[in-house]
């Protein structure tokens, strides 16, 4: 046991459908036992080693293995990847009024989105819980909330083990008061209110056995996160809000050795948007986590002043990350009664149910709530369409109508700090045009990224997927454009927009200092909703373009009423 560590064995997608039967689940788990037994020489040893069998939508398992055993199972042709389960860090008023959403407003996104009625949001983070008689307490990893009406609610909770001591865990990590207001859940008394023929109440979680007390308490965080995402997908949620991420940067080559990237891919495949916090490791460049293109990555900013206290700075990736920024500083949050306000060991007296906190754990649920409003307003929109609407309507000016500044050094911030800008829910709910992306588009992106066809077919529910060879990484229909290594030749970027507004004609403008940019065609006419139009953006450096440094600009389509903006980031290589 001393030499064993928690590894995740990822197998892609299951062959069973989106609604697996109990027999399907048993077959999937048994296949995991058989696979591991081929290495451990015994099904009993395999059952003892496996911690989680991901048997619903994500195909794989987490198991305690020695390094040699993990290496042996990685050789199996059915295996996509084998990697150590990594520790994920928790990213943890009037923010809604600041965003323009007022309780008594008449035509804001809250009213247009019917306060997110009937939307189910899975919130993956820690939460307040009763202290058990023993120290190894379960930490809540997922909260499922369904809005029945503005005055009634039903809440159920599942718990996945993180194995950390309550006192050292400190704050709650989820801005529950904000999150409740986001989706308009009534107060706690509704949890004990009869609804739908059953009594809803918080389950007792303290007296469950601790199955992993023998292992390093920090070794299976990623395995727990993946289990929570798999369960949320199976629950049929509309949105997953994840306020946690690894303390490492995920490269394009490492997407399928990252638990959040894997979980989010399977969520997207089931038409579920996963919104994730970007992390709190700024201000250096390249510190954003949760950067796979199918993850909606959120930075944090202040309110009332320059909302530019971004806690995370973007990555040198094929798309700008984070995607947007939202209020994440000085946010009123629910707080663990077992932690002190200062979280100092010497502070043993002050206990509060609420505290003012900051971090991307505070900003992420804001965007999850906004996404819920859009999903209610537009129930047939894809996760990518919702993401696009929020990104293309974001604002790069602060509330004094000046460019956003970085709070660390008071210089002008860039898209690497705020992505497309600060969220504006009243505009996002009616964006005019969206950049949509489907599962096939993501699979083609993986083809262009160099992943082998067998792996990609495994992600395609084990249906053969043929890479065409003509797709480029830069052609993923993302609502931003990034060219980190532009040479001397012109580069052509292809994008497709979908009309979600009334019939009209849009014209394009695009500009980045030091580059010649042409949009072809530069005018698009739409006659009906859901009509799609494709255009190209041709980029070429001019003779005075500085090498090695990033330049920022913008592409915008407008018809006089709607302004659809996409940030452009370019670096000319040496």
Q: Where are the beta strands (DSSP E) in 462-501?
A: 481-486, 491-499
Instruction: Determine which one of 125, 238, 258, 436 is catalytic.
Output: 125
**Residue 125 annotated among the catalytic residues of the structure:** yes
Q: Which of 569, 492, 477 is nearest to 532 (CA)?
A: 477
Instruction: Determine which one of 53, 361, 363, 420 is catalytic.
Output: 361
Task: Tell me which H or E stretch contains 390.
Answer: helix 383-392
Whole-angstrom distance, CA of residue 127 vs CA of residue 142 = 9
Residues 513-524, buried b or exposed e (16+ Cβ, 10 A)?
eebebebeeeeb
| Residue 243 DSSP one-character state | -
**Residue 209 annotated among the catalytic residues of the structure:** no
Dihedral angle of Cα 372, 374, 375, 381, to the nearest 10 degrees: -150
C-beta separation of 4 from 64 below 8 A: yes
Whole-angstrom distance, CA of residue 71 vs CA of residue 250 = 21
**Residue 361 annotated among the catalytic residues of the structure:** yes
C-beta separation of 548 from 572 below 8 A: yes
Whole-angstrom distance, CA of residue 529 vs CA of residue 524 = 14
Residues 425-452, buried b or exposed e (16+ Cβ, 10 A)?
bbbbbbbbbbbbbebebbbbbbbbbebe
Provide the β-strand partners of residue 239.
Answer: 121, 273
Whole-angstrom distance, CA of residue 332 vs CA of residue 97 = 13
Q: Which long-range contacts (CB under 8 A, 24 or more apart) does 196-203 make?
A: 196/154, 200/154, 200/155, 200/156, 202/155, 202/157, 203/157
Instruction: Determine which one of 195, 235, 330, 430 is catalytic.
Output: 195
Q: Which value, in Å, is the radius of gyration of the alpha carbons in the chain?
A: 24
Exposed / middle / buried, residue 56 (Cβ in 10 Å: 0-12, 13-18, 19+): buried
Both tokens assigned to 147: 């809005």
Both tokens assigned to 64: 């305690």
SS3 386: helix
Catalytic residues: 125, 195, 361
């Amino acid at each position: 046991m001393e030499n064993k560590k928690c590894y995740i064995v990822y197998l892609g997608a299951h062959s069973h459908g989106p609604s697996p039967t109990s027999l399907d689940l048993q077959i999937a788990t048994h296949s995991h036992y058989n696979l591991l037994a081929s290495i451990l020489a015994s099904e009993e040893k395999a059952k003892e080693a496996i911690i989680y069998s991901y048997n619903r939508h994500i195909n794989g398992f987490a198991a305690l293995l020695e390094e040699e055993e993990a290496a042996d199972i990685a050789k199996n042709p059915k295996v996509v990847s084998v990697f150590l389960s990594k520790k994920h860090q928790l990213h943890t008023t009037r923010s809604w009024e600041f965003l323009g959403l007022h309780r008594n407003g008449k035509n804001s996104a809250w009213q247009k989105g019917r306060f997110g009625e009937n939307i189910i949001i899975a919130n993956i983070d820690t939460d307040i819980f009763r202290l058990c008689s023993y120290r190894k307490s379960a930490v809540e990893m997922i909260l499922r909330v369904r809005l029945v009406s503005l005055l009634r609610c039903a809440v159920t909770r599942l718990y996945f083990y993180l194995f950390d001591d309550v006192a050292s865990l400190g704050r709650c990590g989820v801005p529950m008061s904000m999150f409740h207001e986001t989706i308009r859940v009534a107060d706690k008394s509704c949890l004990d209110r009869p609804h739908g023929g059953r009594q809803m109440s918080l389950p007792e979680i303290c007296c469950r056995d601790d199955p992993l007390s023998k292992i390093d308490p920090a070794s299976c965080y990623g395995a727990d996160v993946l289990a929570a995402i798999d369960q949320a997908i199976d629950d049929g949620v509309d949105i997953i809000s994840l306020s946690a991420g690894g303390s490492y940067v995920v490269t394009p080559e490492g997407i399928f050795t990252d638990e959040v990237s894997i979980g989010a891919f399977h969520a997207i495949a089931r038409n579920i948007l996963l919104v994730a916090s970007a992390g709190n490791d700024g201000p250096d460049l390249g510190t954003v986590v949760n950067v796979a293109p199918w993850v909606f990555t959120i930075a944090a900013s202040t309110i009332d002043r320059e909302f530019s206290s971004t806690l995370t700075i973007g990555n040198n990736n094929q798309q700008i990350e984070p995607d947007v920024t939202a209020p994440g500083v000085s946010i009123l949050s629910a707080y663990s009664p077992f932690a002190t306000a200062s979280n100092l060991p010497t502070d043993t007296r002050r206990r509060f149910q609420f505290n003012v906190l900051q971090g991307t754990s505070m900003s992420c649920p804001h965007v999850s709530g906004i996404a819920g409003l859009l999903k209610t307003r537009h129930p047939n929109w894809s996760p990518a369409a919702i993401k696009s609407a929020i990104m293309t309507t974001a604002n790069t000016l602060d509330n004094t109508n000046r460019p956003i500044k970085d709070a660390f050094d008071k210089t002008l911030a860039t898209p690497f700090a705020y992505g497309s800008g600060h969220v504006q829910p009243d505009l996002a709910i009616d964006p005019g045009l969206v950049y949509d992306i489907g599962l096939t588009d993501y699979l083609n992106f993986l083809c262009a990224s160099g992943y082998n066809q067998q792996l990609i077919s495994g992600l395609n529910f084990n249906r053969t997927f043929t890479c065409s060879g003509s797709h480029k990484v830069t052609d993923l229909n993302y609502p931003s454009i990034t060219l980190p290594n532009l040479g001397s030749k012109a580069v052509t970027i292809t994008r497709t927009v979908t009309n979600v507004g009334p019939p009209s004609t849009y014209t394009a403008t695009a500009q980045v200092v030091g580059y010649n940019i042409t949009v072809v065609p530069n005018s698009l006419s739409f006659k009906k909703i859901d009509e799609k139009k494709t255009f190209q953006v041709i980029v070429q450096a001019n003779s005075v373009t500085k090498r090695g440094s990033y330049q920022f600009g913008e592409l915008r389509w407008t018809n006089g009423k709607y302004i659809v903006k996409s940030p452009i980031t370019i670096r000319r290589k040496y």
